[in-house]
Structure 1
Amino acid sequence: MAVALVAVVLCLLVLGGAYVRLAPLDPARWHQPVEAAQDVDLAGGAVRVIPAPKGTLQALDAALQGLPRTRALAGSVQEGHITYVTRSAVFGFPDLTTVERRGDEIRMFARLRFGVSDLGVNRKRLERLIAALQ
């Protein structure tokens, strides 16, 4: 009985891990305008708003594209609106970061796809990106 229970639990963990890695990310859902106009920390993410001198969006795009396990999901620098997916190293949990130029500011919204709390991972990612611009 105990062996069967362990087998069922392991099977559920494998299936859950496969779902996290293979579940589609719909750009229509995740590639949305960043509505927050000021810095906000959330349980599952964070928003940061910074000044946008010339070249800031391009520098952020290069920094994000250079992060491990990160790729663009939708948008482009030319559009002034890009959403990226960054996956965690071990389980492959996807976090989404949307970067958008609005007038003379850049709005960034980083959030988790699964769960309730990201343990501050997205806030820290945004803070590292901002620090890299300095």
Structure 2
Amino acid sequence: MSGKMIIGWGLGLFCTALVVLGAYVRLAPSDPELWHSMPEQVENRDMEGGAMRVVAAGPNGLSRFDMIARDTPRVKVLVGSVGEGMVTYVARSGFWGFPDYVTARQAGDTLELFSRLRFGRSDFGVNAKRLDNWISQI
């Protein structure tokens, strides 16, 4: 086999792997039972793969947050509702479509937010930036 042929096969396999990875990231099902949850203690902090925020948002904070989240491109409700007091959204990155899960819960006059990635270890601060942006719009 010639060197050009080996390079061609290698490039073809690499491209195929990228397509398969991209399809998996976009098409893997999201289990609502797994992602529609909150830690026992929510506090203002950034983590390697996500962020938590606690916001004094008043009794209708979740309703306002829900409108902002739904108005954001590539964000869809996974499960829950404002009426239930807790909603989990799937927010996808632009190019690859990597999913992040954002759970928002109304606790009295406080809004508790928990945003985390699904794939990988680090989100490079994306979840914290998204939460802070949405909070600034409330």
TM-score interval, smaller chain: over 0.9
Q: Counterpart of 1:20 in structure 2: which amino acid?
A: V
Is 1:34–1:100's contact at 8 Å kept on the other side of the alignment?
A: no
Letter of the 1:75 counterpart: G
**d(CA) in 1 for partners of 2:35 and 2:97?**
18
What does 1:22-101 align with in structure 2 at a 5 Å threshold?
A: 22-101=27-106
Matched length = 133
Q: Distance in 1 between matches of 2:135 and 2:29?
A: 29
For structure 1, the 5+ residue unaligned runs are none
Contact 2:26–2:98 (CA under 8 A) maintained in structure 1? yes
The whole-number CA distance in structure 2 between the counterparts of 1:31 and 1:37 is 14
Give the match for residue 17 of structure 1.
Answer: 22
Corresponding position of 1:8: 13
What corresponds to 1:108 in structure 2? 113
Give the deviation of 1:55 after TM superposition: 1.8
Amino acid at match of 2:93: S
Deviations 1:111-132 (A, max 9, x none): 1111111111100010011110
**TM-score of the superposed pair, with normalisation by structure 1:** 0.95
Amino acid at match of 1:78: G
Compute the TM-score of the two structures, normalised by the length of structure 2: 0.93
Q: Cα distance, 1:100 vs. partner?
A: 0.4
* SS of residue in 2 equivalent to 1:119: coil
Give, in whole Å, the separation in 1 of the partners of 2:110 and 2:68. Answer: 17
